[in-house]
Structure 1
């Protein structure tokens, strides 16, 4: 009956993995299954724990990096939030200098500045070079 505790622990870890998606808890679930297998083969408690620990470490060191690498190859990284605004076009609303200004970016009004001493008048089309806190650092747009 002790193997049921190991299998139950593996199931709980598997469910928690579905919430975290870090591919760590599933490796511990594999270790728990190894502990259950050790119990089924008649190993003492210390042997079961050792089997679970060794299996977990081996899975974390070998299988997890391989899985992460292949997941990243298949799924491109999608930039979100402020990082997704870099490279997007904007229009100057209030003169933008190296200290202050306003632009309309992605339908919202953002504070803006230029990285150099240029002054960009209202109506100028610009591109976002970077986001610095809540300020868009912009450059004049280069015509395509």
Structure 2
């Protein structure tokens, strides 16, 4: 069997395997095998074919794959609802302890508890929202 045909079959097999794995690596190796098949068809000797395959595969995996993976992975979704409040600054409107209190987060008043139950946070203090549990914000004073 001619070497170019072997490279072509290898490229097809790697391309088909890429469909099932979605890693972007096997597809790049299949592309390298396809390019090598072209060089084999014009009569390049086997050692040079292996060198071409190695170089093209290396360039593909090192430079092209990271870009492809960035485009294939979904972007980090926006936070909505109460999830968007985590990490926000809030102002204490009624003293906050481990048992309760009130804070204003983005114009809305929320019930609050201190994230560290031993803390007592006085009115007027700026705090960070650490977590939202139900309708209660767990807060910690900013430093």
Q: Name the TM tier (shorter chain).
A: 0.5 to 0.7
Taking structure 1 as the reference length, the TM-score comes to 0.52
Gaps of 5+ in 2: 85-97, 99-113, 119-129, 139-143
Q: Distance in 2 between matches of 1:49 and 1:9?
A: 13
Distance 1:77 1:12 in 2: 33
Shift of 1:115: 5.0
Matched, 1:76 2:68: no
**What CA RMSD, in Å, does the superposition of the two structures yield over aligned residues?**
3.3
Query: Where do residues 40-119 of structure 1 align in structure 2 (5 Å cutoff)?
Result: 40-72=41-73, 75-77=74-76, 87=83, 116-117=116-117
Equivalent-residue separation in structure 2 for 1:57 and 1:29 (angstroms): 12
Flag the 1:76–1:43 CA change in 2: closer, same or farther, 3 A. Answer: same
Question: Counterpart of 1:9?
Answer: 10
Give, in angstroms, the shift of residue 68 of structure 1. 2.5
TM-score (norm 2): 0.53
User: Could you give the per-residue CA deviations for residues 110-133 of structure 1, whole angstroms, max 9, x where no partner exists?
Assistant: xxxx95338xxxxxxxxx93xxxx
Q: Tell me, which stretches of 5 or more residues in structure 1 are unaligned?
A: 79-85, 89-97, 99-113, 119-127, 130-136
Aligned length: 95
1:69: Cα distance to partner? 2.9
**Runs of at least 4 residues off by over 6 Å:** none
Structure 1 or 2, whichever has the larger Rg, is 2
CA displacement at 1:141 relative to structure 2: 4.1
